[in-house]
Amino acid sequence: MGESETERILHLQEEVDQLKEAVASHAVVDQAIGMVVALGRVTPDEGWAVLKEVSQHTNIKLRNVADLILVWGRSGDIPPEVRAELADALERYGPTQIPGAPPAG
């Protein structure tokens, strides 16, 4: 016999909760990429790469790095090791020249 109706409902509720968490996590990461793009003057793809590198080099989950970046945007506070890795990664990727803007320098 298959699962009971109650087991099926509980299983589906668990799936829904996991999907909600994934969507919320995705939104946080997208917002953090937006901040990196604006502040670092990099492309969205480069912003994603910056987040991944900061996550790998600090051994902090990508979602948590994104959270830290959003808190930094609101409060100005960011752990020093995250700030250092973010600066290093942005130096490797940016700044991207804005089309039509005069050359930096």
Evaluate whether residue 99 is within a structural domain. no
43-96 residue pLDDT tens:
999 999 999 999 999 999 999 999 999 999 999 999 999 999 999 999 998 776
pLDDT at 95: 75
State which residues form the domain around 33.
Answer: 5-93
Evaluate whether residue 23 is within a structural domain. yes
Evaluate whether residue 81 is within a structural domain. yes
Evaluate whether residue 50 is within a structural domain. yes
pLDDT at 99: 55
Is the alpha carbon torsion for 93, 45, 16, 11 positive or negative?
A: negative
**Which one-letter DSSP state was computed for residue 100?**
T
Evaluate whether residue 104 is within a structural domain. no
Count up the domains in the chain and report the number. 1
Residue 99: how many other CB atoms lie within 10 Å: 5
Counting beta carbons within 10 angstroms of the beta carbon of residue 18, is it exposed (0 to 12), middle (13 to 18) or buried (19 or more)? exposed
pLDDT at 56: 96
Evaluate whether residue 56 is within a structural domain. yes
Evaluate whether residue 15 is within a structural domain. yes
